[in-house]
């Protein structure tokens, strides 16, 4: 995430938006969780564990709608 969902200000490493001061802790953690799930799913795909990858990608998509994750999810659906 590059911009604050409230004011569209650029996000810095701090947990609060520098422009509107919104607390972004939960949003940033959710993004990190979705990215970690996606990474685990890619590792599962590499090991041909498609059903496990499919489950991880479903969880990632429940946290964040991402075009790349949607493509990976569709790919695993065709293989499992």
The DSSP-derived string for 25-51 is HHHHHHHHHHHHHHHHHHHHHHTT-HH
Average of per-residue pLDDT values in the chain: 94
- Average of per-residue pLDDT across 60-73: 96
User: What pTM value is reported for the model?
Assistant: 0.84
Is the predicted pLDDT of residue 9 greater than 80, yes or no?
yes
pLDDT at site 17: 93
Is the predicted pLDDT of residue 44 greater than 80, yes or no?
yes
> Which pLDDT band, with edges at 50, 70 and 90, does 79 fall under?
confident
pLDDT at site 12: 83
């Amino acid at each position: 995430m590059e911009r604050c969902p409230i004011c569209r200000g650029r996000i810095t490493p701090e947990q609060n938006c520098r422009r509107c001061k919104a607390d972004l802790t939960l949003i940033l953690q959710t993004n990190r969780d979705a990215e970690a799930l996606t990474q685990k799913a890619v590792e599962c795909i590499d090991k041909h564990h498609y059903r496990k990858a499919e489950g991880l990608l479903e969880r990632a998509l429940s946290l964040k709608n991402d075009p790349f994750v949607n493509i990976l999810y569709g790919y695993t659906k065709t293989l499992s």
